[in-house]
Every structure is written in structure tokens, then in C-alpha cells.
Structure 1
Amino acid sequence: MKKVANQMLVIFGASGDLTARKLVPALYNLYKGEHLPENFVVLGTSRSDMTDEEFRKKVVAESSFLQSQLKEQSEDFVKKFTEKLFYQDLGKRYTDSYDKLANRIAYLNEEFGTEENYIFYLSTPPSLYETIAKNLCEEGLTKEDRGWKRIIVEKPFGYDLASAKALNEGLHHYFEESQVYRIDHYLGKETVQNLLVTRFSNSIFEPLWNRNYIHHVEITNAETVGVEKRGGYYDKSGALRDMFQSHLLQIVSLLVMEPPINSNAEEIRDEKVKALKSLRIMKDEDDILENTLRGQYVESTVSGKKVKGYRQEDGVDPDSTTETYAAVRFFVDNWRWKGVPFYVRTAKRMPTKVTEAVIHFKTPHHQVFSSQDVYRQDNKLIIRIQPDEGILIKFGVKVPGLGFHVEQANMDFYYSDLDSAQVMDAYERLLLDAMQGDSTLYARADEVEAAWEFVDPILKCWKESDKVTTYGYAAGTWGPKNSDELIEEKFGWRNPGDLLTDESGFCILS
């Protein structure tokens, strides 16, 4: 593995939930796996008034997110990790001078030999990104004359195309694009990364990965939970912004992209951008109405428990038309994918928590043998991203007995079978990549803007057109009743179960 340089990680918004829930556990696992450099320091900062010891208690000693892991190690081991964590009060406002923060960084750098290599992790609202970048620049903390400087920002990367461009321009005033790392935890999942390996390292797939052999592609992202305590935020966002524009279009880009020249980060990101730019943008209202569908979960009983409808959730407008279900059919305008429809859906309050991509191959032009199930006779490659991560191939086999009747069989692979493999958590992988300067799994500015260019017209139509309908669906079901009508011919959505091989299509209502 590539050697990690001595460095300091400065976390803005360190008193927030993300630091204790994701970042510190990821850093602890990297420390346990001996991936961190010898000279490594974490400096948390926010508007909360805390000492180093109070911060350490909050994110390590008293953190519910680390309790089980801490019991597995000696007190001395945990103490050595904890002593790498420090805290600096930023003051009342993020707009105030960062002179005290700069002094603390300089002191820790000298004390622990981090060689002026700094990563600034912004676990804050996007509205503060430019402000923080500006203040860091004014303190000389963005200059790379001695040591490198990197900045990591969390999604959402804008609310629409205009705000995404403004966000990128604001960051580019103070940081070069090569210094900016836009983190999307979905890209840190091993199974998402395996899309590239599955495609480009296997001659049984790559020659078939085109319009000549693939009938259509579907991607499903389903969650069993509702909006939880995020009703106020979600009602201004919706499923299309929250999941489709970022996570799911990232998966689309990996499925659609052409082979990169090599595995270099910029070569891969160049191809992802080209893939996103090749998506056919729907600008005509009738086109959008025909190829998109939005829904919203309504009150129901799931597993014997009464579940509130979306409009009854805290912080949600009682007359809200914000979608909790979004499905989009689109096409890709290039040689490889000409005429192949892509179907992508994302939703809350579904029967199963699952994310998967399904490649449907065309059936043979001449059907020699009869199928027991003509509606499921196509070969499928199913790439399960979560849970029960793995790959499933569905293909036809002869039914034992007289005649030549065909039914589908499964050939499957599970990541859990790789006992010798240490599968990193998404944040572990992404943090380590940033520490090593590997931006492969981070979104580039033009990548983010290309995704928004595709989504913007749909959002505008959904907001402004009186012809757009929001369909209700009972919580615990697979979405609006007419959602299968979006998929052409005899096909419908694959409604998966908890296990990769499950395909019951049942809804959980009682």
C-alpha cells in the first residue's frame, strides 16, 4: 500500500454528529489497521467551547459509536489513539478571524512533525464552505509552498446547477481544483468500486456491455425508513436531489463510462464526466411527464405498526408535494448505449433497504426452447451494493424431466465469502484516499455540474408544471401502483428482498 505522509486533519464542525458517528470511528479503524502515518494529529474545531479532554471524551471515551470496539483493545492502545486528538474553540462565528486556530495548527505541526501537510474537513453546511476557505486563505493555510493542503467538503454540492457552480467558484477562489475533495460516501463502498473491476477486468462482460446485447438497465435504491427527524430539510430537497442527483448518477456514470486509458484518478474521472455529459437531457415538458414519476408515502400499517404518512412527519408542510419516491427513464446518446433505456428509482418507506444495479441482457433472437416463465426469461447481471453485497447472474437451465423446458438459475458471489479480505468502511477508504492524495473516488467540479445539468430541467418541471402528479403509495410497499408502467414491454421493476437471491416482490402490509 502507498505510504501515507505525516499530516494533520483539521475537522470543522467537530462538535456535530458526523465526527462522532463516522469520522472518529473511521480514524480509529485506520489506526488499528496501522494505516495512519507515524506523525498524525486530528484537530477538531467548531463554535462549541471544549477542552482537548472534553472533546476526547465526547468522540472516543463516551461515544456510543465506539464502545464495542474499544472493549477489544487495551487501555494503553486506546490512550495512544486518543492522544492524537485535540480541539480548538473557533469562537462565536465562522466568519471571525482564524488567527487562534492558525496558531494552534502551527504549534501542533511543530510539536508533532506533521510537515505542514493539512487536510481541512468541512463537516458544516455548504453555506459556510466559501467563508471557511476564505478565512483559511487569509491565514496563509492554503499555500502549498511548504507541505500540501487539501479540503474535503460534504454533499449536498449545491441545490441546483446555479448554486453548484457558485459553490465551485467560491472554493476555486482559495483552493485549486486538485486540492478539493468532494466526498460522497457511496463511492467508498467496495461494491460500487467493484463496478469498474467487474466491467473492465472480465472478458465475459466487457464485450457484451453495449446496445447489441443489453436490453435495459435498472437501478434501485430503497430505504425502509421515512424522513425520520429530517422532515424540515427533506421537504426542501426531495428524493431527486437527496439521492438521484448525487449517489445514483455516480453509479450510472460507472456503468455507462468508456474504458479509461489506465487506473489513474484523472483518467477515470475524465470518463465519468464524459458519461454524465452523454445522458440525454429532457427539456420538453411532455418528455419529462412521460419519462418521470414521483410519489409520496401515505399512512399505512407495516409489520403490525402504524406508520405516519409523509405529510404527517415533523417539519413537513401538510400540503407538501415533495417526492419521497422518484423514478426516471432516460437514454444515453453515444454509440455504446444508443437506444438502451435506463430506469433509476429511489424511495423511502419501501419493504426492503437495498441498493442494486441490474443489467438485463437481450433474449436470443430465435427462441428454440420454451420457458416456464416468459416474463423472467432474460439473463440478468445483478450487482448488489447493499446489503448482502455481491454479484448474481441469472441464466436459463433445463428443468429436469422430459422435454426442454427452461427456468432461471442463480450463480452468485458474496463479499462475505472473502474471509481473508479486510473490507473497509466507506469513510475509512475515502479518508485514507484523501490522505494519500488519491482523488479517484471523489467528485470533480465538472462532474457535479454535469449531473445537475441533467437533473435541473426535471426539478424545474416538477416545481412549475400543473400537469405533474404526485402519486401516493402505502408505506411498506414498492411505490405507486403505476410505477411498472414506466418500464416498456413486458418488464417491470425487480423488487428484491433482503438477500441477493430473493425476488419475491411482496409488500410488507399487515
Structure 2
Amino acid sequence: MVKKCQFMIFGATGDLTYKKLLPAIFSLYKEGELCDKFKLILIGRRSLTLEDYLKDLDVEVTKQLAFHNFKDHLTYHQMDFSKQEDYEALNHYLSKENWVFYLATAPRFFEVISSHLDHYGYLDESAGFRRIVFEKPFGINFSDAKKINKHISKILDESQIFRIDHYLGKEMIQNILLTRAYNSFIEMLWHKDAIDYFEIVISEESGVHNRAGYYDGSGALKDMVQNHMFQIVALLSMDLPESLIPEVIQEEKSKILKQIKVMHNLVVGQYQGYLDEKGVKADSETETFVAMEVHVDNRRWKDTPFYLKTGKALKDKYAQVVVHFKKMSSVSENLLIIQIQPDEGIKLKINSKKPGVSNEIDNVTMDYCHSCLKYGDEPSAYGRLLLDVILGDKSLFASWDEIESSWHAIDKIEKIKPQPLIYEKHSDWHENLLIKKGWYKYD
């Protein structure tokens, strides 16, 4: 059991809290990772009773026997985030204990909420730690992110700031660095002379649904590339540090993000019917799909493409990294496939002789199923990261240097971004287009 800790979530009526945060905290509770007397204060702007609030929670979660006891630890509190006087009432809950404040809100509230918490002394650590989790996106562009960071750095020590990217909590994302670090034959081949290109794909079947209001001001570039995909690029291309302590890993990732070079090989799209989604502007040119080529401008990866593809309302739901090794002859290329979701694991495609008297070569797959080894309820990505917040472990959280560099790159892309192509929902419309552009060198 971890040390005593209480939670306060701002933005409790949003999808993130209902679908990710509450289930993650419930999972930690069931696994005995939270103290018996923990409190979870759910703060929203709507006037609701706790029972009314819980009606929108996943029924499968509320049906579990443990949820009956878990519910006793919850309190719903209505307030206006922007009114300083409303924060005075929080003193009723804020006992002298360890507290995690989770800002599951739009970035425009980050400065407001942190300022008011500071005004009433709620961030003082004399009686226990006070940590604030800032949900992605951290700002809406580089200028905005810089302004937010300057503000919170005046009232918080860096040790109190947790800039979260839940993708870093996924098992196979964590496995990228460890697979490289503890398999010498892989790391010996981890450079431009052996690897032809990388392919990073995050494909979603669903559209924007009730996130349209947020998504229309963000788009695929800011929602997925600036954080999730650039972080994966950094983990793939960074030099292995001498130590895997948080500060060293963050420093190495930051170096890579400063070296990302945006190529002009860029495709953006928007699915048919996006303009009809509630909360989307009638003339919106927000992209729901992006495919792009980036390079890491250093000696190790000179001229090695990193192809990034992500989109909504596509044919399939999956996420993976494919490492394409250079071909040595006319046989099939060797691939290292890191499957992130829905099935977690690693596949290695190699060439081997077919059984029999001939010397015919076949491409075979060595398959390691990571998710098959799970036992019982595994913590979600958010669950792992929340536990790290409690423990003060920042290994899987982004530093300001990382965010600064990634926003610089996105701002450059925004300047060259073309108008989106319209595509049919649940199709693989982009594949032929990308083949024509020469993205795939081999069949």
C-alpha cells in the first residue's frame, strides 16, 4: 500500500474523468494501492448530487461489488473555476495530508486554477506534498504553452509539476526503451546503416463524438502528433542514457525533439460528416487525419524517414510501430513490429528456409504476446501514471524542454499544412495516396 494520498479532480464532468480517471483510481483502490481513508473530491461546474453524477459512469464499473465501498470515498463539489471566492470552500476538504490536484480541463484554466489554489495556501507542502497534474495538451501552441509554464513555475517547484501524456503509461511504449537497452543485438542494429525507415501508426475507428468542441480547436496534429507521436519518435531515436533515472531520460528525449526536422511530405484529411458534428464550426478546416514524414537531424539517423500516421473514423482501430530494416537481397525485408493496441506484443519477421529439399526462402514471424501474460486486472495507462504521481516518479512525464521543442515543430507544420482532403468514414482511403507519394519502398 502506498502512502496516504487524497485526490481532487477539476473537470470532473468531462469524458476524461468518466472514461479514464475514475476507472483508473477505482482500479488502484481495488488493488490496495490507496489507503483505506483516501478521499476523491470531484469538482465540476454543473450542479449535481453525487448520485446524479455517477449515473453517467460506465455501468460495468458501477456494477462491481467493490464500487459500493469505493463510492463512500467520493464527494462531488460544484464550483466555478474562474471565481476566486469559490476556492475558499475547498478548505473544508483540504486536510493536512498529501494531495494530488488533477486538472482535467482545457489549457485555458491551468493558470486560473493553479493561481487560486496558491492564493489560499493549498499548494503549501509543509504538511504533506502538493502535486498538480496538467492534462494534455499543455497549451494550444508554443506561445500559449510558454505563458502557462512561466506562470506555474513561479508558484510551483518543478517537483510538483506533472505534465501528463497517458500514452507513455502504455506497456509497449515503456517497452521500447527497455527492449533496446536489454537486447544488445537490437541496439547494435539501431542506426541508419541498418534501418531503412520507421512507421508509427495510431488509427482510430471512432469519430470525435462529444469531444468535437475541444477537437475542432486542436485537430490531429495537436491532439496526437505534438504529444503521443513525437514522444514515440524520441524513445525510438534517442541515444541510450547511461542511467534510466527520470531526469536523464527526459534530457535525452529533449535532445531528440530539438532535432526533429519537418519534411514537406504532408497529407491531411477530414472525414465526411465531420462538419455535422455538434460543436464543429460550419466552415472548419480542422484535420481529423494526418500523415507526415519527419527526420531526426543527427549523425545516427541522417536521412532516415519517420512516417507518422494518425486519424479518426478510419477502417481499423490499432496502434503500432514498425521498424523496417534495410533489404540485403531480393528476399522480403526484416521487420520489428511493436504492437501497442489492441493486442500488446512484439513481432520479428525474418527470412528462413522452407522445410523440404529446396532452398526456397519464406518470411516467418516470431511472435511474443505481451498481453497474454497479464494476470488479473492490470492497471490502465492512467492508473500507472497516477501511481507514479503519488510516488513522485517523473520518468513517464514530459519536461518543459520536451514540450517546448515539440510545440516548435508543430508550429512549423501548421505554416505548411494544406487544406484537408475529404475522406469516407471507416475507409483506408490514404493507403494508395501514400504509396503514390513513395512512402512505402517495398511490398
Give the TM interval when normalised to the shorter protein: over 0.9
The equivalent of 2:314 in structure 1 is 350
**Counterpart selection for 2:305 from 335, 341, 348:** 341
Q: Which range is displaced more, 25-34 or 37-46? A: 37-46
CA 1:179–1:394 in 2, change beyond 3 Å: closer, same or farther? same
**Counterpart selection for 1:101 from 60, 66, 89:** 89
The equivalent of 1:196 in structure 2 is 177
CA 1:384–1:487 in 2, change beyond 3 Å: closer, same or farther? farther
**1:32 equivalenced with 2:13 (yes/no):** no
CA contact (8 A) 1:433 1:439 kept: yes
SS in 2 for 1:245: helix
Q: How far is 1:471 from its partner? A: 2.9
Q: How far is 1:340 from its partner? A: 1.2
SS in 1 for 2:382: helix
Any residues of structure 2 matched to 1:137-176 within 5 Å, and which? 137-176=118-157
Measured in 1, the distance between the counterparts of 2:18 and 2:193 equals 49
CA contact (8 A) 1:24 1:59 kept: no
Measured in 2, the distance between the counterparts of 1:84 and 1:385 equals 33
Q: Residue by residue, what CA displacement relative to the aligned partner does 1:140-170 show, whole Å, maximum 9, x if unpaired?
A: 1112233211001111111111111112112
Query: Which residue identity does 1:167 align to in structure 2?
Result: I
**Counterpart selection for 1:409 from 351, 361, 364:** 364
Q: How far is 1:70 from its partner? A: 4.9
SS in 2 for 1:173: helix
Measured in 1, the distance between the counterparts of 2:419 and 2:255 equals 33
Measured in 2, the distance between the counterparts of 1:247 and 1:204 equals 27
Any residues of structure 2 matched to 1:281-296 within 5 Å, and which? 282=262, 288=264, 291-296=265-270
Any residues of structure 2 matched to 1:234-249 within 5 Å, and which? 234-249=215-230
Measured in 2, the distance between the counterparts of 1:82 and 1:489 equals 52
Query: Which residue identity does 2:311 align to in structure 1?
Result: A
Any residues of structure 2 matched to 1:276-355 within 5 Å, and which? 276-280=257-261, 282=262, 288=264, 291-298=265-272, 309-355=273-319
Measured in 2, the distance between the counterparts of 1:12 and 1:232 equals 18
Any residues of structure 2 matched to 1:322-401 within 5 Å, and which? 322-364=286-328, 367=329, 371=331, 377-401=332-356
CA 1:99–1:159 in 2, change beyond 3 Å: closer, same or farther? closer
Q: How far is 1:318 from its partner? A: 4.8
Measured in 2, the distance between the counterparts of 1:351 and 1:294 equals 16
**1:12 equivalenced with 2:10 (yes/no):** yes
SS in 1 for 2:116: helix
Q: How far is 1:87 from its partner? A: 3.4
TM-score, structure 2 as length reference: 0.92
**1:483 equivalenced with 2:438 (yes/no):** no
Measured in 2, the distance between the counterparts of 1:71 and 1:59 equals 15
CA 1:310–1:38 in 2, change beyond 3 Å: closer, same or farther? closer
SS in 2 for 1:48: coil
The equivalent of 1:450 in structure 2 is 405
CA contact (8 A) 2:108 2:139 kept: no
Measured in 1, the distance between the counterparts of 2:211 and 2:87 equals 35
Q: Residue by residue, what CA displacement relative to the aligned partner does 1:239-263 show, whole Å, maximum 9, x if unpaired?
A: 1112111111111111111112222
Q: Residue by residue, what CA displacement relative to the aligned partner does 1:309-345 show, whole Å, maximum 9, x if unpaired?
A: 3344444445443322211112112222122111111
The structure number with the bigger radius of gyration is 1
Measured in 1, the distance between the counterparts of 2:102 and 2:16 equals 11
SS in 2 for 1:230: helix
Query: Which residue identity does 1:409 align to in structure 2?
Result: V
Any residues of structure 2 matched to 1:5-154 within 5 Å, and which? 5-50=3-48, 54-55=49-50, 57-58=51-52, 62=55, 64-65=57-58, 67-73=59-65, 77-90=66-79, 92=80, 94-98=82-86, 100-106=88-94, 109=95, 115-154=96-135
TM-score, structure 1 as length reference: 0.81
Q: How far is 1:79 from its partner? A: 4.2
Measured in 2, the distance between the counterparts of 1:473 and 1:383 equals 28
For structure 2, list consecutive stretches of 5 or more residues without a partner in the other structure.
none
CA 1:339–1:48 in 2, change beyond 3 Å: closer, same or farther? same
Q: Residue by residue, what CA displacement relative to the aligned partner does 1:170-214 show, whole Å, maximum 9, x if unpaired?
A: 222221222111122211111111112111111221111111211
For structure 1, list consecutive stretches of 5 or more residues without a partner in the other structure.
110-114, 299-308, 372-376, 463-467, 493-510
CA 1:471–1:124 in 2, change beyond 3 Å: closer, same or farther? closer
SS in 1 for 2:122: coil
Measured in 1, the distance between the counterparts of 2:278 and 2:375 equals 45
Measured in 1, the distance between the counterparts of 2:213 and 2:395 equals 33
Query: Which residue identity does 1:85 align to in structure 2?
Result: L
CA contact (8 A) 1:239 1:347 kept: yes
Quote the RMSD (CA, aligned, Å). 2.3
> What is the aligned residue count?
442
CA contact (8 A) 2:81 2:109 kept: no
SS in 2 for 1:335: coil
Measured in 1, the distance between the counterparts of 2:375 and 2:126 equals 42
SS in 2 for 1:40: coil
Q: What fraction of aligned residue pairs are identical, expressed as a percent?
A: 39
**Counterpart selection for 1:267 from 248, 266, 284:** 248
Measured in 1, the distance between the counterparts of 2:275 and 2:76 equals 41
CA 1:99–1:417 in 2, change beyond 3 Å: closer, same or farther? closer
Q: How far is 1:71 from its partner? A: 4.2
CA 1:469–1:80 in 2, change beyond 3 Å: closer, same or farther? closer
Q: Residue by residue, what CA displacement relative to the aligned partner does 1:388-410 show, whole Å, maximum 9, x if unpaired?
A: 11111111122344542322111
